[in-house]
Amino acid sequence: MDITIRAVRPEEHGTLGEVTAQAYLGDGLLDFGESDEYLIELRDVSRRAAGAEVLVAVEQDRRVLGGVTFAAAGGGPWAGLAGDGEAEIGMLAVAPAARRRGAGEALVRACVERARAVDGCRRVVLSSRQAMRAAHRLYERLGFVRTPERDWQPAPGVTLFTYALEL
């Protein structure tokens, strides 16, 4: 499959927001389903793109397969975990029909390359729900290691696993 990774375009914000929301809903990753407050953030690609770099994976026909939010070193509003010298990946999602075709891996690799190009960036970090086992396998295959000492809770009862990749 020929996949292109690039910055999301404004006319794709709604589509990527829906792909992301449906991926999280379909995988049972939102504790309150359609009424989960996090769903608002997942759908609001315009807001994310205003404060971070949002990348999209598209096929030749320009169909949106998935996307990711990349917060460069120094954090910003979309870096909940990153500290000095760290970039952060968040909200990685691939449409169910496009999975196991390389889109997720291509998105993560693009973020790692961007982090390597940022002066002073030494590490890429990310947070992941415990149930995201396929994502964990991808991260580990790409060299990320678990950093349980950095696990955190964005809300009571929701523990996020953390991973880091040294650059």
Q: What are the pLDDT digits (tens) for 128-150?
A: 999 899 899 999 999 999 999 99
pTM given for the model: 0.94
What's the count of helices (H) and strands (E) in the chain, helices before strands?
A: 5, 8
**Residue 13 belongs to what H/E stretch?**
helix 13-26
Gap between the Cα atoms of 150 and 146, Å rounded: 9
Is the model's pLDDT at 77 over the cut of 80? no
Task: Give the pairing type, strands 123-129 and 145-146.
Answer: unpaired
- Residue 117 — φ and ψ, nearest 5°? -85, -10
Strand partners, 2: none
Q: Please enumerate in sequence order all residues whose Cβ is within 8 A of that of 118, keeping only pairs 6 or more positions apart, or say none.
A: 72, 73, 87
Q: Above 90 in pLDDT, residue 53? A: yes
C-alpha dist (Å) from residue 45 to 10, 19, 41, 56, 150: 9, 11, 8, 11, 26
- Run of H or E residues at 133: helix 133-141
Give pLDDT tens digits for 88-120: 999 999 999 889 899 999 999 999 999 999 999
Architecture of the structural domain at 3-120: 3-Layer(aba) Sandwich (3.40)
φ, ψ for residue 121, nearest 5 deg: -80, 125
